[in-house]
Amino acid sequence: MDSQAERILDEVRKYHHDVQDARGFVPGVTEIWPSGAVLDEDDRVALVSAALDMRIAAGKLSRRFERDFARRLGMRKAHLANSGSSANLLAVAALTSPRLEDRRLRPGDEVITVAAGFPTTVNPIAQNGLVPVFVDVDLATYNTTADRVAAAIGPSTRAIMIAHALGNPFEAAEIAELAEQHELLFIEDNCDAVGSTYGGRLTGTFGDMSTVSFYPAHHLTMGEGGCVLTSNLALARIVESMRDWGRDCWCEPGESDTCRKRFGYQMGTLPEGYDHKYIFSHVGYNLKSTDLQAALGLSQLAKLDMFCAARRRNWRRLREGLDGLPWLVLPEPTPNSDPSWFGFVLTVDPDAPFGRAALVDFLEARRIGTRRLFAGNLTRHPAYIDREHRVSGDLANCDVVTDHTFWVGVYPGLTDEMIDYVIASIAEFVETHR
């Protein structure tokens, strides 16, 4: 880096310190966000440095992030995308690739998923002409179980796609085993659970593929961004092709002929020697991200352990502080797991003398941010009512989630003081309404 750039980056460090909000926490005045990005001086410098280099498209920083992140999660390949939703779309679309031959998913095939969660875990199933089969969740873990998944498997079932709920792992080993027994493809939506383990093994490493989001609410952020991970090199190649317009060629932008056969292919009914750069083996998208995002991702990745530790610490403080309060169902980690939590989820007992609305209003009035367990029961939303789907068993707990569940934050930007204020506020509300 030349000395002029060094000087600019020194100024950026100074600027970072100058613009820090030095005001302390004022209970009831300072906003306690449920989630948010934690960005330090190094993050700001990483972004500006990438901007000085005009790294406006995907290139060497994206490839470095993909390599480092895959290594970090113990997977062979990671492919960046522009969001977690795009990563989910790519993962499901990849399963429809003709390259998978007999294993490929075809329109009308069923994919087992969970009804209470984030919509873009489910949307790619419908967007690819597949049929979601919804299963219910347990209260307290907010995950489904291997038993429910097993009961949902029917003659048309070909795949499973489930998210680890708010960082709490589902029974990934048992569900992976089911997938193997029944020859089902298995995608883990790991968007909310980076760093969580089940049976001592990282979530996101059990399925054929897994996905991650780098939106600011998540464990690592790039602003917007996402990633598909797999150790199956054939699937990785399909994901890359689907992400990059569906092309067959794998040269980076600005590169040509890395395969040394650019004009030596004959594919489809194209003439012999048609330029490989413009041969399309999939009906693809452009879901790429940029090196500006990857620069921030690399700087965030260095802090992943610290972020996960803070999330665990904040969750434990809330769990201990709220223990024993009546009328609240407190969250439980799935047995055999160590969650890297996304949020602290609470359900107001349906028989409580107060409802969720009153508690949430009370907290929001104190500037304590709350969120829903995303969509609650997705099948009740206007977008899904007329969509083809199947429900296995019933969705009674998903309905409880819709009516009685919410969550508060555990993200690393929260201080002990803030968490203690959240605990005291919830306790005060319950004590005065019991």
Check binding of 213 to ligand PLP (CB under 6 A): yes
Nearer to ligand PLP by Cβ, of 49 and 143: the residue is: 143
Task: Based on the shown chain and the rule CB under 6 A, indicate whether residue 124 belongs to the binding site for ligand PLP.
Answer: no
The CB-of-241 to ligand PLP minimum distance in angstroms stands at: 21
Question: Which amino acid would we find at residue 404?
Answer: H
Question: What is the three-class DSSP state of 154?
Answer: coil
Nearer to ligand PLP, 121 or 347 (CB): 121
192 binds ligand PLP (CB under 6 A): yes
Site for ligand PLP contains 144 (CB under 6 A): no
Of 32, 75, 178, 191, the one binding ligand PLP (CB under 6 A) is 191
Q: Is there binding between residue 84 and ligand PLP (CB under 6 A)?
A: yes
188 touches ligand PLP by CB under 6 A: no
The total of other beta-carbon atoms located within 10 Å of residue 125's CB is 26
Counting residues that bind ligand PLP (by CB under 6 A) gives 16
Catalytic residue among 79, 218, 282, 389: 218
Region binding ligand PLP by CB under 6 A among candidate stretches 54-62, 68-76, 186-194, 302-310: 186-194
Report d(CA 396, CA 330) in Å as an integer: 18
Shortest Cβ distance from residue 89 to ligand PLP (Å)? 9
Nearer to ligand PLP by C-beta: 184 or 187? 187
In terms of DSSP bridges, do strands 197-198 and 131-135 run parallel, antiparallel, or are they unpaired?
Answer: unpaired
**What is the end-to-end Cα distance of the chain in Å, rounded?**
64
Considering the rule CB under 6 A, would residue 205 count as an interface residue with ligand PLP?
no
CA distance 82 to 383: 23
For position 85 contacting ligand PLP by CB under 6 A, the verdict is yes
Interface with ligand PLP includes 163 (CB under 6 A)? yes
Closest CB 405 distance from ligand PLP, rounded Å:
15
Q: How far apart are CA 187 and CA 96, in angstroms?
A: 13
Among 49, 62, 121, 293, binds ligand PLP (CB under 6 A): 121
Joined together, the tokens standing for residue 44 give 């700001």
Q: DSSP letter for 278, please.
A: G
Q: Is 118 in the site for ligand PLP (CB under 6 A)?
A: yes
Concerning whether 218 is annotated as a catalytic residue, the answer is: yes
Residue 340 interacts with ligand PLP (CB under 6 A)? no
CB contact at 8 A, 248 and 259: no
To ligand PLP, the closest distance from the beta carbon of 49 in angstroms equals: 24
Report the distance separating Cα 72 and Cα 215, nearest Å: 19
Residue 306 token pair: 């610290």
Residue pair 377/40 in contact by the 8 Å Cβ criterion: no
Q: Is 126 in the site for ligand PLP (CB under 6 A)?
A: no
* Nearest Cα to Cα of residue 190 among 68, 327, 49, 308: 308
The Cα 185–Cα 13 span in angstroms is 47
Alpha-carbon span 255 to 28, nearest angstrom? 56
Cβ-count burial of 427 within 10 angstroms (0-12 exposed, 13-18 middle, 19+ buried)?
middle
User: Using the rule CB under 6 A, is 215 a contact of ligand PLP?
Assistant: yes
Q: Which of the stretches 2-10, 82-90, 129-137, 262-270 binds ligand PLP when contact is defined by CB under 6 A?
A: 82-90
* Inter-CA distances, 118 with 288, 320, 377, Å: 22, 28, 10
Site mask for ligand PLP (CB under 6 A), range 22-41, x = bound = --------------------
Is the separation of the CB atoms in 391 and 152 below 8 Å? no
Query: Nearer Cβ to ligand PLP, position 121 or 337?
Result: 121
3-class state of residue 239 by DSSP: helix
Cβ at position 156, least distance to ligand PLP in Å: 25
One-letter amino acid of 105: L
Q: Is 189 in the site for ligand PLP (CB under 6 A)?
A: yes
Residue nearest to ligand PLP (CB): 84
Residues that bind ligand PLP (CB under 6 A): 83-85, 88, 117-118, 120-121, 163, 189, 191-192, 213, 215, 217, 226
Instruction: List, by residue number, the catalytic residues.
Output: 218
